[in-house]
Structure 1
Amino acid sequence: MKPGPQRIVCLTEETTEWLYLLGQEARIVGISGYTVRPRRAREEKPKVSAFLSAKIDKILALKPDCVFGFSDLQADIAAELIRAGVQVTVFNQRSVDEVFGVLYQVAAMVGCAEEGMRRIVAMERRLAEIRADVLLRQVDGKRRPKVFFEEWDEPHISGIRWVSELLGIAGGDDAFPELANESLGKNRIIADGAEIVRRNPDIIMGSWCGKKFRPEKVAARSGWQSVSAVKNGQLFEIKSADILQPGPAALTDGVEQMHRIVLDWMALHG
C-alpha cells in the first residue's frame, strides 16, 4: 500500500482526474456531481457535492481521511468539515505554474511523486512544443489573433489567469489581459459590452461554466455585428470541463483546442 490518505473525497474535478491518471482511483470515495473526466468516475463513485455546496452528512458517512477542495469559494464547506474533525486540503491555484505545483503536491501526497513528475514533464514538454510552433509561424509573418474568452455571458466575464496564460501559449492574445489576474469572477465582469466591441477581437471563445455556449446568441448581440470575430464566423465553444478546471484537462485538451482554433485563424488571416 502506498503512503498517504486512503479515503479521499474530491470536491472538484481536477483532483479526481489526476488521481485516475496516476492509477490511484481506488482511494477516491466521493466526487463532485459536476465530474465528467474521466467519464467512468461518475459510474463508480458517489457524488457528494456541487461547487458551492456539499452533502456534509454524506461526506462524513464515507469516513474520508482527506478531502480535496479548490479555492476560497469552498471555504465554508471546508470549515464545516474541519469542525467535524476531517482533514481538508484546499488548493487555490490560478496560474499554469500553480496548477503544475498542485499536481505535484497531490501526486506526492499519494506516494506517486515520481509518476506525477513524469506526467508533468510530458505536459510541460507539449506546452513548449505548442509555444515553439506559434513562434515559427510568427517568423513566417503570421500575426497573433486577439481573443475574447467569455467565461460567462450575463454579465460578460472574461477568462481566469490559467485560461489567459494557456491562450497565450496557444498563440492568441487575451483581449482583456488586465482582468486575468483577478481570481474572483465578479472582478472580471465587463459591465459594458461596448468595450468588447471596441477591442474588436478576432476570435471569441466561450465556456459558460457548464452552460452550453451559443454562438448565434453572441452574434445577435446589439452592435456586435461589426466585431471581426462575428463578421468572420470565429466563435467557438470550449467545454468547461476541458478548460475551466485547473488541472490536467486544461493543460492538455483545453490548450490543444485553443491552439487548433488559432492555427486555423492564422491560416486564413495571417
Structure 2
Amino acid sequence: MTPRTPRLFAAALAAGVLLLGGCAEKTSPDTPAAGASGGSFPASVGNLTLEKRPEKIVSLSPTSTEMLFAIGAGKQVTAVDDQSNFPADAPKSDLSGYQPNAEAIAAKSPDLVVIANDTNKIASQLVALKIPVLLAPAAATLDDTYRQLTDLGKLTGHPAEADAVVGKMKDDITALTKDLPKRAEKLTYYHELGPELYTATSKTFIGTIYALAGLENIADPADAGGKSGGYPQLSQEVIVKADPDFVFLADTKCCQQSADTVKARSGWGGVTAVKNNQVVALDDDIASRWGPRVVDLLRTIVDATAKVPA
C-alpha cells in the first residue's frame, strides 16, 4: 500500500457519490415472476431494457458483485473485476473497474455489464458495442442500496429474491437500532479511511450508518463548506483535540492499522477512545461498500458502543 492510496481511495469514494446525482437509474415496480427463469421480460430499469434474462453478467463493482450473489444471480455472473473478493467463489478476473477496457470486457461476451463509475466513458463505449450497461454508483443513502438491489433483481430475473434481501436488511437494521440506550450526550467517533487521516463526514453513506447508531462525527466541522465532498483530511491535532469516544479503523487490511498502531501515534495516548480501549478494527471491504453487508457493519458499531454505560 503506497502512502498515496488512502487519498486516491477517498477521492474515488467522493467521485462515486457525486456521480450518484445524475446517473442513477430509477426503479420501476417489479412484475411477479413468470416461467422457470423467474421475473418478467422484457425488463426495464430507466433507459435500459433487456429482452431476456442475462446469462453472462460481468460485474465491475465489488458491491454489485455482492448484491448479485445475494439475490441469487450468482450463477449468471461469468466475470467480476479484480477487486471483487466476496463471495469467495465469485469468478474473479483481471478486468478493472478503475480503468475499464471496453475490448477486454467485450471479450467476455457479456449480455449485461454492471459498473459503479463511468470512467473513461466506458458506458457509451460498451453501448456502441451493443452491450447493455447498468450504472450502479456509490450509494448516498440506504434507500439507494435498496433501489440498486431491486434494479438488479428486476434485470436478472430475481425480483422476489431481491425484495427478500431488502426486507431482511430493513428488519435487521430496525432490530439493531430500536433499543439503543438513551444518552444525555451522544458518543463521538472518528472513522479512518487511511493513516493519512482521511475520513468521512455524516453527509456520506458511511456517515449515515453511524448516525443510525446514534453517534456524532468529529469530522463534520472540517467539511462545513463541502469542499472535500464529504471526505476531508484531518490533522492529528484536530483529532486529538476532538477527543473522540471511538476510533473506527477502515484501514486494517490496506494499511495494517490497529489499536496498537493508533496508540503509538504521537499524542494519541490521551484520547478517550485509546484510553478506554475503544479503537475498533473494521473489515475494510465491508466498510467501503454499500451492499447487504452494511448490516454487519452496523452490528459491529452497535455492539462496540453498547458496552459504554448510558
TM-score using structure 1 length: 0.83
| C-alpha RMSD of the superposition | 2.8
Which stretches in structure 2 are left out of the alignment for 5+ residues?
1-36, 39-51
Shift of 1:204: 0.3
- 1:166, 1:219 → 2: CA distance? 26
Aligned residue among 252, 257, 261 for 1:213: 257
Aligned residue among 146, 152, 158 for 2:188: 146
- SS of the equivalent of 1:254 reads helix
- 2:53, 2:222 → 1: CA distance? 38
Q: Does 1:9 align with 2:9?
A: no
Letter in 1 for 2:59: C
Shift of 1:190: 2.1
Letter in 2 for 1:229: A
Name the CA shift for 1:236/1:130 in 2 (closer, same or farther; >3 Å).
Answer: same
Q: Does 1:102 align with 2:148?
A: yes
- 2:228, 2:105 → 1: CA distance? 28
Shift of 1:208: 2.2
Q: Does 1:240 align with 2:284?
A: yes
- 1:198, 1:239 → 2: CA distance? 27
Q: Does 1:86 align with 2:135?
A: no
Shift of 1:9: 0.7
Normalized per residue, which structure has more strand? 1
Partner of 1:258: 301
Aligned residue among 3, 26, 29 for 2:75: 26
- 2:59, 2:226 → 1: CA distance? 21
% of aligned pairs identical?
19
Give the 5 Å matches for 1:1-270: 1-2=37-38, 3-41=52-90, 45-54=91-100, 56-71=102-117, 74=119, 76-92=121-137, 93-134=139-180, 137-138=181-182, 141=183, 143-158=185-200, 161-177=204-220, 188-208=231-251, 210-211=253-254, 212-250=256-294, 252-264=295-307, 266-267=308-309, 270=310
**In the alignment, is the contact (CA less than 8 A) between 1:33 and 1:47 conserved in 2?**
yes
Letter in 1 for 2:192: E
- 2:123, 2:237 → 1: CA distance? 39
- 1:230, 1:52 → 2: CA distance? 36
TM-score using structure 2 length: 0.74
Letter in 2 for 1:91: A
Shift of 1:220: 2.2
Which stretches in structure 1 are left out of the alignment for 5+ residues?
none
**In the alignment, is the contact (CA less than 8 A) between 2:56 and 2:110 conserved in 1?**
yes
Shift of 1:55: 5.0
Q: How many residues align?
A: 258
Shift of 1:35: 2.0
**In the alignment, is the contact (CA less than 8 A) between 1:148 and 1:203 conserved in 2?**
yes
**In the alignment, is the contact (CA less than 8 A) between 2:61 and 2:84 conserved in 1?**
yes
Name the CA shift for 1:180/1:238 in 2 (closer, same or farther; >3 Å).
Answer: farther
- SS of the equivalent of 2:178 reads helix
- SS of the equivalent of 1:157 reads coil
- 1:253, 1:68 → 2: CA distance? 24
- 2:77, 2:196 → 1: CA distance? 35
Name the CA shift for 1:199/1:100 in 2 (closer, same or farther; >3 Å).
Answer: same
Shift of 1:234: 1.3
**Which one is further off, 209-218 or 230-239?**
209-218
Normalized per residue, which structure has more helix? 1
Shift of 1:207: 0.7
Name the CA shift for 1:191/1:258 in 2 (closer, same or farther; >3 Å).
Answer: closer
- SS of the equivalent of 1:39 reads coil
**In the alignment, is the contact (CA less than 8 A) between 1:13 and 1:36 conserved in 2?**
yes
